């Protein structure tokens, strides 16, 4: 019995020291792992932040480029028929959109949906205006009708998408 007591005098303190060392080492390693994860996230954010900001910039540029007033200035060539202008405008909107398709990875689903809606609404407005004109109408007739309809429309999908993109960019980056 005395031998057992002597053995326990040495084993119990050793086990307590071992448990304390294990606990402290585990806490230290967990803390280091957490620090590494935070540092990794910060490093990734340093890389992704400029790319995400560029995506917002490119989508704002896309929306500005498909806005009817600017689109007409870039696309309308004197001597075009209304049908030719309609085709050129729709092609320009679609090509601008397709060029920026990959930007959807960097913006919210809501923002991307609004950008898609803006594209669809712009094409619809161009086609609707073209249907209102006779077959022999000129590009000037179509352009003026599109601009008049644009002035009547107080809050277009393009403006709505622009507002949302700007708002998200402010929230995410400033």
How do the domains of the chain map onto residue ranges?
51-173
Q: DSSP H helical segments within 67-108, as ranges?
A: 68-75, 82-99
What is the reported pLDDT for 1? Answer: 73
Q: Give the residue-averaged pLDDT of 73-97.
A: 94
What is the reported pLDDT for 40? Answer: 87
- Residue 27: pLDDT band with limits 50, 70, 90: very high
Q: Give the residue-averaged pLDDT of 125-141.
A: 93
Give residues with Cβ within 8 angstroms of 123, minimum separation 6: 90, 93, 94
What is the reported pLDDT for 10? Answer: 85
Q: Are 100 and 58 in contact (CB under 8 A)?
A: yes
Name the nearest CA neighbour of 103 among 164, 47, 70, 61. Answer: 61
Q: Are 93 and 122 in contact (CB under 8 A)?
A: yes
pLDDT exceeds 90 at position 132: yes
Among 41-50, 73-82, 97-106, which is the least confidently predicted range?
A: 41-50
- Residue 154: pLDDT band with limits 50, 70, 90: confident
Give residues with Cβ within 8 angstroms of 17, minimum separation 6: none
Residue 159 token pair: 């403006």
- Residue 144: pLDDT band with limits 50, 70, 90: very high
pTM score of the predicted model: 0.74
């Amino acid at each position: 019995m005395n031998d057992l007591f002597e053995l326990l005098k040495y084993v119990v303190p050793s086990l307590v020291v071992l448990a304390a060392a294990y606990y402290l080492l585990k806490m230290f390693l967990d803390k280091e792992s957490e620090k590494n994860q935070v540092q990794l996230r910060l490093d990734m954010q340093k890389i992704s932040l400029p790319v995400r900001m560029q995506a917002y910039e490119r989508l704002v540029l896309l929306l500005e480029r498909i806005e009817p007033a600017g689109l007409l200035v870039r696309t309308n060539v004197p001597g075009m028929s209304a049908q030719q202008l309609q085709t050129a405008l729709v092609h320009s909107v679609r090509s601008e959109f397709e060029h920026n398709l990959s930007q959807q990875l960097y913006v919210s689903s809501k923002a991307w949906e609004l950008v898609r809606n803006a594209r669809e609404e712009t094409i619809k407005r161009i086609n609707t205006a073209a249907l209102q004109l006779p077959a022999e109408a000129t590009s000037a007739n179509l352009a003026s009708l599109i601009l008049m309809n644009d002035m009547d429309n107080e809050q277009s999908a393009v403006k709505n998408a622009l507002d949302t993109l700007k708002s998200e960019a402010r929230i995410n980056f400033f």
